Structure 1
Amino acid sequence: VLAGVCEGLAAAGVPIWRGSLGMRAIDPTVRAMAVFWRQDRGVAAERTSHSEGEAQYRRSPISYLQDRGLLVHRWRLESGEGCQAYPILNDLRGEGATDYLMWLVRFGGLTASAMPGVAISIATKRPGGFTDDEIARFAAVLPALGLACYRISLSRTTGDLLSVYLGPMTAGRVLTGEAQRGIGRSVTAAILLADLRDFTALASREDPLRVVGWLDEHFEALGGPIAERNGEVLKFLGDGLLAVFPAGDLESAGADACGRALAAAEEALERTAALNARRRAAGQPELDLDVVLHIGEVVYGNVGAARRLDFTVIGRAVNEASRVESLCRELGRNLLLTAPFAALCGRESVSLGRFALRGIKNPIEVAVPLAPGSRT
């Protein structure tokens, strides 16, 4: 969109050398997004994290307009105006820019406080800068350009936030219309159930805000390996999580799903061990991680009240995995595989026996994986 506007006006005689769009993001890791067009380079995009966002904002001309409640301002770079206060203007002047204008186009609606609008700028290298007529021609397209930015950013924000809160796979299904209660489908999936041992006791004696920070660190150690292997975290269960690796057909794809789930679990345990080592060195409490891996048929869909739904998996296989997790402490193991999972995961394993579990009709056999290359 930005390239089309700038190139169109340039072709009509407006001497635009550089244009930009910048706006706030509603995202857990990204504070702001910007798109840049340059006559000699085309389009480039940039994202700013929350950690660096405030400092970058203060170095930007956007802060000048926001702090003063202005909707437009002009800096004549030929005379050095604004170059000491804003490094980007000094850089552009060094590249030959002579004139720079910025507008703020306000957004309305529910996102107005978090995503208030878009900052749009243009610059030229022509001596003397833009004429009043050229500025007016660009200003005339601002309402349409601002509306396009709003619609695009709102659409992307909706998809991104659904992905953050529901997971990419689930978000995709919701966005394609699967929002009615009772809609679901039966799928075969490898199930990963994880739990932080003794978390309840830790939470009862430590400062809640510190506990939340520690919990986030552990979930990061878990969530990264799962996402990297195309698994999906369906929900966080207080001090644990439930994730699935859809297998499609058990015969043809079960081994692949189980292999990915096992690799994710082992890496999560390695990351947790490294995290605990850092905690130990800092005199902070450690938390052991227990993981159970199972495979079976689950129902994947909407469950809940009419106006408050949860897109999740339910079924016997999920219940079985939950019951097996209670064996981790009893057996002194951080990673347990059910027999069906062990048979498909492509790794040698050692059976620990069959166990009767509460609420499960038949005893379940569990195993532990051997290191790659080991033999029973």
Structure 2
Amino acid sequence: MELTPRLNLMNWLVGQGLTGVPENELLRGFCERCCAEGLDLSRGLVFIDTLHPIYEGRGFRWTDTETNESDAFEYGSTAEGDAARNWRRSTFFHMLEHGHDEMQIDLAECEKLDFSQIDELASKGHRHFLAFVHRFGETGALGQMDCFYSYWTTRRDRGFTEPELSSLRDLVPILGLAIKSAAQVDIARTLGRVYLGRDAADRVLRGRISRGVTERINAVLWYSDLRGSTGISESIGPGEIIPFLNDYAQASIEAIHDAGGDVLKLIGDGVLAMFTGEDMAAAHRAALNAEHRFRKNIAKLNARRSQEGRPVTTAYIGLHVGEVYYGNIGSDDRLDFTVVGPAVNEVSRIASMCRSIDREFLASTEFRAGLDTTGRRYMVSTGRYALRGIGRAQELYTLDPDMASNEAMSGSYERYLMS
């Protein structure tokens, strides 16, 4: 590739990286522009580790022919199992182990090489393989994200020429920098959603990070708490406590997210969440939907844990509605993006009343009043109670117990939740 088109491609990569173009589009645009300038690529694959609670990293592919392969993929841990064995057979692992930054393979003569995927590439007509490992350095690493890996192939029998190799040596690091930039945005978004919640993370990433920046919103509030968790934690081994809490947290968080809610805080074995929107009647119904999903999740979870001989439990849930302050609270250098206000205190007190009156679910008068006429028919009063620390007594409601034995009524309720 001549100097001018090489510089043009560098400028394009920088511009696209600053714009925030997704990684798969960066790779596709890079490969297509290389081919247009006579650098005859047949396949390109790049990947980079990340910070994610499930995935170890993400990769991106481009090829010059139609394929069923996706242009983006995610991979799990390479520390054990088949993934570990495949990783240890890769050219990249070999390069890291031997301190190499570049590796070339003539795919026409690769029968004796025990690298994963090399034979497959040769069988598909690729003739020359070029791999790079670009290390970030200590200050440029983020968790396990300390390298940018890539390989490139051509179908030409003579392989890459020296000028083409020189072009790729100049261009691939800039592609790596652009992809690293996009990956760091993904990491920031992932960490925000994992630790702050989906809506709060989106607001923070849009710049709402100043202390005291809050807004008053109407929200349906959820507070759930595991039943008998303290006694269970004292009766099981230390190594079982975290899996126990994680299992039930997963059951509640999945239910809340699937119903459209946002989890704001995990407080020991408690979960604080909210449901909002322009249509508050729909938010009320979504909260009931989450409660219903949670009960189903717990039933499946308890069946599995019982088979494994592990302790099981259920959960208390309180629902309330009110005006809250939503935003940044704390000090200049340690903030929490959450909700505060009397309604938050009340919903936790409502959930705690479940123990006293032997109900797994209670809702406030305000919550019931916010339901439509159909929804209110499924709620029955449990009486009027003084809540600890709250200046006024509350009439609390629960789901009609008749639904447990009345299939027609329970079916009608499920259809209502899905409407």
Aligned to 1:94: 123
Code of the aligned partner of 1:261: A
Q: What is the CA-CA distance between 1:288 and the residue it aligns to?
A: 1.7
Code of the aligned partner of 1:200: T
Percent identical among aligned pairs is: 32
Q: What is the CA-CA distance between 1:175 and the residue it aligns to?
A: 1.2
* 1:104-143 alignment, distance < 5 Å: 104-108=133-137, 109=139, 111-143=141-173
1:262 & 1:11 partners in 2: Cα distance?
57
Aligned to 1:164: 194
Indicate conservation of the 8 Å contact 2:255/2:297, yes or no: no
Indicate conservation of the 8 Å contact 2:107/2:129, yes or no: yes
Aligned to 1:15: 40
Indicate conservation of the 8 Å contact 2:51/2:143, yes or no: no
Q: What is the CA-CA distance between 1:282 and the residue it aligns to?
A: 2.1
Structure showing the higher helix proportion among its residues: 2
Residue by residue over 1:265-313, the C-alpha shift from the partner in whole angstroms, topping out at 9 and shown as x without a partner, is 1111221122112222222111221111111111111112221111111
Q: How many aligned positions are there?
A: 369
2:385 & 2:48 partners in 1: Cα distance?
57
For residue 358 of structure 1, give the secondary structure of its aligned residue in structure 2. Answer: coil
Indicate conservation of the 8 Å contact 2:220/2:284, yes or no: yes
Distance 1:149 1:81, change over 3 A: farther
Point out 4+ residue stretches in structure 1 off by more than 6 angstroms: none
Residue by residue over 1:302-347, the C-alpha shift from the partner in whole angstroms, topping out at 9 and shown as x without a partner, is 1122211111111111111111112111221111111221233342
For residue 129 of structure 1, give the secondary structure of its aligned residue in structure 2. Answer: coil
Code of the aligned partner of 1:17: S
TM-score (norm 1): 0.93
* 1:295-306 alignment, distance < 5 Å: 295-306=321-332
Q: What is the CA-CA distance between 1:113 and the residue it aligns to?
A: 4.7
Indicate conservation of the 8 Å contact 1:196/1:287, yes or no: yes
1:352 & 1:136 partners in 2: Cα distance?
78
1:34 matched to 2:59: yes
RMSD, aligned CA: 1.8
Aligned to 2:17: none
Residue by residue over 1:107-148, the C-alpha shift from the partner in whole angstroms, topping out at 9 and shown as x without a partner, is 243535521021011011111321222111111112311211
Q: What is the CA-CA distance between 1:54 and the residue it aligns to?
A: 3.2
Distance 1:235 1:112, change over 3 A: closer
Indicate conservation of the 8 Å contact 1:291/1:336, yes or no: yes
Distance 1:19 1:258, change over 3 A: same
1:18 & 1:228 partners in 2: Cα distance?
39
Code of the aligned partner of 2:106: R
Aligned to 2:27: 2
For residue 22 of structure 1, give the secondary structure of its aligned residue in structure 2. Answer: strand
Distance 1:206 1:214, change over 3 A: same
Code of the aligned partner of 1:29: I
Aligned to 2:334: 308
1:185 matched to 2:201: no
